[in-house]
Amino acid sequence: MAELYYVPNQNLKLDGQPSGREDALVAYTWRKSVDQPEAERFSSLHLPMTQAATAAMDVIQGSLPDVRAFVLSGGSKRGWTSWLAGLNDQRVQAIVPVAADFWNVRVNFTHVYNSYGGQWPVALRDYVANRITADVLKGGAGFDALLRFEDVINYPQGMVRLKKYMLSASGDDFAVPDSAWSYLPALTGPMQLRYLPNQSHYVGSRQVSEALRQFMGRWLAGKPMPEARVDGDERSGRISVSTREAVSRARLWLARNPHGRDFRFNSGIRYQDRPIEGQCRSGECRFEFTPDATLPGWQAYFIEFEGKDFTWTTPPLIWPTAIRTVPKCLSARRACSWAAEAAGAALPLRSRQVPQMLAELPGRARRFRPVYAPVAAIIP
C-alpha cells in the first residue's frame, strides 16, 4: 500500500488571489480555463494533481521494479483524479472512487439545480462565485472544451477495460441521490455501485476501509464483481433488480422528506432500513420495491445486497420525480435501465474524437503516465 498526501498542497495562492483550498481552487482554475480555452487549457487543478501522483508512481516503480498493476482510490477531488488516472493509464486495473458522483456534468448538475427548485446547494458556493454554475446551465465553447478533458464519460476507450467500484454517499452535499441515473448509461465496462446510507460527502473512513477490503479481496482472488440489471420506472417509482449473484441479505434503505426534494445528511434526513425478499427462479433472483403513493412529499430509496464477500447497491431513486429531468437517462424513455458489467449505452462521440487528455499536456507527452493513489494496492 502507498499513500500520497498534500495533493493539492493547500492552502494555495494563485495569481495573487486570496489563499484558497479544495473547491475554491478548482472553481478558480476552471474559470481561467473556460475564459481562455487555448491559453489556459491545462489550468484545471485536477491536472497538476494527476501530475504529482505520476511522480509518486515513478518513485514507487523505481524502488520496486516488479510492481506492474495498481488499484486507485481517493475521495471527492481525489476520486475525480483517480478516475482520470485510471482511464488514461494501462497500469491501473481498477479504481474505487469515493464521493465522486459528478459525471455527465451538465446534465447531472442541471438536475441538481432543478431538484432544489432552481437553487444551488451551499456546497457549490465556490462554483457559483466563479460563475461555473452559470456555465453548467447555458454551456459554451470554453466550458465544453474543459469538460472534454474533465468529464469521464468522454473516455469510452479507457472505460471498457477499467474495473470500477464506485462508493457514494446517500446524503451527499454536492450531488443528489438520483444523480447516478444521469451518467450510468454512459459508463461501460465492469462496474458496481455502493451507496453508503446516512453519510454526507465526507464519508467515514471506517466505511471506506471496509469497502476497500471487500473489493481488494475479491479482485486479488480474480472474482468479477456481481452482475445485475436495475430498472427504474418514473411513473410508479418502482425499482427492480435481477441478479444471479448469491445474496445472503437484502435491505431496502428508505428516507422521506415531506417538505422538499432534499436528502442531504446535513439537512437532517436519515434513511431507515428494512429487509426485502427476492423471488428466485432458475438461479436468478428478482427484488422489487414500489413506494407508497399516498404519503406526502418525496421518498428516496435504494436496495443493498450483501453477499459472502461483497456488498453492493442499486442507484437510488427519488419519487415522485416532481421535475422532468430524471430518471430519463440519455433518452426520452419513461423507464430507465442500468446493467452492471454490461456494455452500456453507446455515446454519440466516437472514440477517435476524444483525445487522451494526458497525452496533450505540455512537456511530458510521451512519458506521462497518470496515477493518483491516496490508497494504492500494488501487485508484484
Alpha-carbon dihedral sign for residues 67, 68, 72, 77: positive
Q: Is the peptide bond before 226 cis (omega within 30 degrees of 0)?
A: no
Rg of the chain (C-alpha set):
20
351: pLDDT strictly greater than 80: no
Distances (CA, A) of 136 to 110, 113, 129: 7, 10, 13
pLDDT at position 326: 41
Q: What percent of the chain has a predicted confidence (pLDDT) above 90?
A: 58
**Range of lowest pLDDT (14-23, 44-53, 306-315, 366-375):** 366-375
Q: What are phi and psi of 156, to 5 degrees?
A: -65, -30
User: Which pLDDT score, from 0 to 100, does residue 283 have?
Assistant: 86
Of all helices (H) and strands (E), which one includes residue 80? helix 77-88
- pLDDT score of 49: 85
In this prediction, residue 58 carries a pLDDT of: 80
d(CA 54, CA 355): 19
How does residue 354 score in pLDDT terms, banded at 50, 70 and 90? very low
The predicted pLDDT at position 15 comes to: 82
CA distances (Å), 47 to each of 50, 52, 56, 85, 364, in order? 5, 9, 14, 10, 12
Half-sphere exposure of 233 (CA within 13 A, CB side): 11
Sign of CA dihedral 351, 101, 99, 207: negative
pLDDT over 70 percentage in the chain:
84
Query: Higher model confidence: residue 166 or residue 51?
Result: 166
Distance CA(284)–CA(299), nearest Å, equals 28
Mean pLDDT of all residues in 68-75: 89
Task: Look at residue 12 in the predicted model and tell me its pLDDT.
Answer: 81
CA gap 65, 62 in Å, rounded: 6
pLDDT higher than threshold 70 for residue 355: no
pLDDT at residue 333 above 60? no
- Dihedrals φ, ψ of 254, to 5°? -135, 135
Say whether pLDDT at 352 is over 50: no
Record the pTM: 0.85
**Cα-flanking dihedrals φ and ψ of residue 243, to 5°?**
-150, 150
Residue range 59-81: mean pLDDT, rounded: 89
Which triple of cell numbers denotes residue 372? 493518483
- pLDDT single digits (tens) 174-197: 999 999 999 998 899 999 999 999
Tell whether the model's pLDDT for residue 304 goes beyond 50. yes
Strands (E), the chain: 69-75, 92-98, 163-169, 191-196, 228-233, 239-243, 249-257, 272-275, 279-281, 284-289, 298-306, 311-313, 317-319, 335-340, 375-379
Q: What is the mean pLDDT of residues 1-8?
A: 84
Convert the pLDDT of each residue in 10-67 to its tens digit: 888 888 887 688 899 999 999 999 999 988 888 899 998 877 777 777 888 889 989 8
Q: Give the pLDDT of residue 364.
A: 35
pLDDT for 350 beyond 60: no
Report the alpha-carbon distance of residue 28 to residue 284 in Å, rounded.
50
| Cell numbers representing residue 330 in the block | 440519455
Please report the sign of the dihedral spanned by the C-alpha atoms of residue 62, residue 63, residue 64, residue 69.
negative
Give the separation between CA 67 and CA 377, rounded to whole angstroms: 10
- Residues 278-307 have a mean pLDDT of 93
What's the mean pLDDT in 275-294? 92
Domain 23-341+370-379 class in CATH:
alpha beta
Average pLDDT of span 104-114: 94
- Among 61, 41, 29, CA closest to 367: 61
pLDDT of residue 234: 75
Query: How big is the CA angle at 191 (ends 188 and 192), to the nearest 5 degrees?
Result: 140
| Residues 5, 210: Cα–Cα separation, whole Å | 21
Model pLDDT, residue 339: 60
Q: Which residues of 265-300 are buried (b: 16+ CB within 10 A; e: fewer)?
A: beeebebeeeebebeeeeeebebebebeeeeeebbb
**pLDDT at position 303:** 97
* Better pLDDT: 262 or 14: 262
| HSE-up of residue 339 (Cα within 13 Å, Cβ side) | 9
CA distance 99 to 196: 10
